[in-house]
């Protein structure tokens, strides 16, 4: 195994560990790593979604087993997000300005978490029309950006006090899974090509995701997860703005 492959595997493992610990799967981080290591641009988005599906499956399972998942909160966000994620994955448009605006929003959210990190407050679930509308918009965003959408959903759930931190992580994990599958299907429908990438990247992502999701769902405190989430949002925001 070459030094180049070892380095990219270590980076993928670190991304999977960090993201899965807050209920995410790491697509924005994988995209940043693969861009940094000069992988072919046409393969980056679908490859990131494949890794996302694997890690999101582990993460959703771990947070569900730990008792944090809420179906009642999940389904209104998910039901329209899936078809819109397919649409976003199908569309291949220059989105530099769009991604810059989204990146700024993520960085702003990261600052909010660093400033306001503290104990969870009593949540109040959103109305069904609001959840459906937000889910549709986030599904489209997830497909366009090649992510699962959790990077956008978790901050909304926590900052709007729609869910406690670990419940937000659990809901986002399954949200990421269904939208990554839909986004990948849309991308494959458009490109008619599934990229080939190294098995070591899969092993690295699954290993990091298994450990990170276990610790996040069972060991880390909600306050610590919020701080980790601020780090994740900073990485994702920087990636969207500068790559």
Locate tokens 């109305």: which residue? 127
At 193, list the tokens.
Answer: 């090509």
Instruction: Compare 190 and 90 and report the one with higher pLDDT.
Output: 90
Q: What's the pLDDT tens digit per position in 26-72?
A: 887 888 888 778 777 777 778 888 899 999 999 999 999 999 999 99
Distance, in Å, from the CA atom of 56 to the CA atom of 229, rounded to the nearest integer, reads: 16
d(CA 61, CA 56) in angstroms, rounded, equals 8
Most confident of 5-9, 52-56, 82-86, 87-91: 52-56
Between CA 58 and CA 207 the distance in angstroms is 10
How confident is the model over 150-186, as pLDDT tens digits? 888 998 998 899 999 999 999 999 999 988 888 788 7
At residue 177, the pLDDT reads 92
**Which comes out higher in pLDDT, residue 148 or 56?**
56
Domain boundaries, the chain: 3-242
């Amino acid at each position: 195994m070459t030094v180049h492959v070892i380095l990219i595997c270590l980076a993928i493992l670190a991304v999977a560990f960090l993201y899965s610990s807050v209920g995410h799967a790491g697509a924005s981080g994988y995209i940043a790593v693969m861009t940094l290591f000069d992988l072919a641009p046409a393969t980056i988005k679908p490859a990131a979604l494949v890794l996302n599906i694997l890690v999101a499956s582990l993460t959703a399972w771990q947070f569900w087993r730990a008792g944090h998942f809420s179906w009642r909160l999940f389904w209104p966000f998910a039901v329209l997000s899936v078809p819109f994620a397919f649409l976003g994955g199908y569309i291949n448009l220059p989105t530099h300005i769009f991604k810059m605006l989204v990146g700024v929003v993520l960085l702003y959210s990261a600052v909010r978490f660093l400033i306001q990190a503290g104990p969870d407050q009593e949540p109040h679930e959103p109305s069904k029309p609001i959840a459906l509308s937000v889910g549709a918009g986030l599904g489209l965003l997830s497909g366009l950006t090649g992510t699962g959408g959790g990077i956008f959903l978790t901050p909304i759930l926590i900052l709007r006090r729609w869910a406690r931190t670990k419940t937000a992580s659990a809901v986002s994990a399954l949200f990421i899974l269904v939208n990554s599958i839909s986004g990948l299907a849309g991308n494959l429908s458009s490109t008619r090509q599934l990229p080939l990438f190294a098995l070591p990247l899969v092993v690295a992502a699954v290993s990091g995701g298994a450990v990170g999701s276990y610790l996040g769902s069972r060991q880390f405190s909600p306050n610590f997860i919020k701080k980790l989430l601020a780090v994740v949002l900073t990485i994702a925001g920087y990636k969207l703005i500068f790559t």
